[in-house]
Amino acid sequence: MKTAIVIIDGMGGGIGVQLVGRVKEICGNAEVIAIGTNAVAAERMVKAGAHRGAAGENAVRVAAKTASFILGPIGIVIADSMMGEITRVMAEAVLSSPGERILLPLQQEHFFIAGLEALSLARMIDKAMDILKERLEKGSV
């Protein structure tokens, strides 16, 4: 069975687009599944190269159940984050997934992550890819 890498993003899908591109570079044989909190985000990630995509709360629930890895901004595990696009059901689905979560620690207006060094988005994505490669090499799936 192929490794299922689920990328979750919302709003305009810009972070998800970048993640899809990088994951496809390093994990050519994995199935990349784009899940948007909205149709625009999902569509942009599919256009960026995800194998398939869907949008909405139920899509997050279903994809999280079978994901080997879930990647996205940290807001995907915090209800009401991303300007309200992340519902409690979505956050719970990501947190209860049997897959490993690799989250980008992006700051938002209503929560702060203390003790983090300030990194550019590009550098956060580099670090996320390093973690993904390491976990794949260790055969964590």
Rounded to whole angstroms, the Cα distance separating 109 from 107 reads 7
Share of the chain above pLDDT 90, in %: 82
Place of tokens 């899509």: 59
What the block records as the tokens of 18 is 């970048």
Rg from Cα positions in the chain: 14
- CATH tag, 4-137: 3.40.50.1220
**Stated pTM of the model:** 0.93
Average pLDDT score over residue span 79-104: 96
Strand order of the sheet with strand 69-73?
52-55, 31-36, 4-9, 69-73, 100-104
Longest dimension (CA), the chain: 40
Question: 113 pLDDT band (50/70/90 cuts)?
Answer: confident
Question: 52 pLDDT band (50/70/90 cuts)?
Answer: very high
Please tell me the predicted confidence (pLDDT) of residue 140: 52
Question: Residue 34: what residue type?
Answer: A
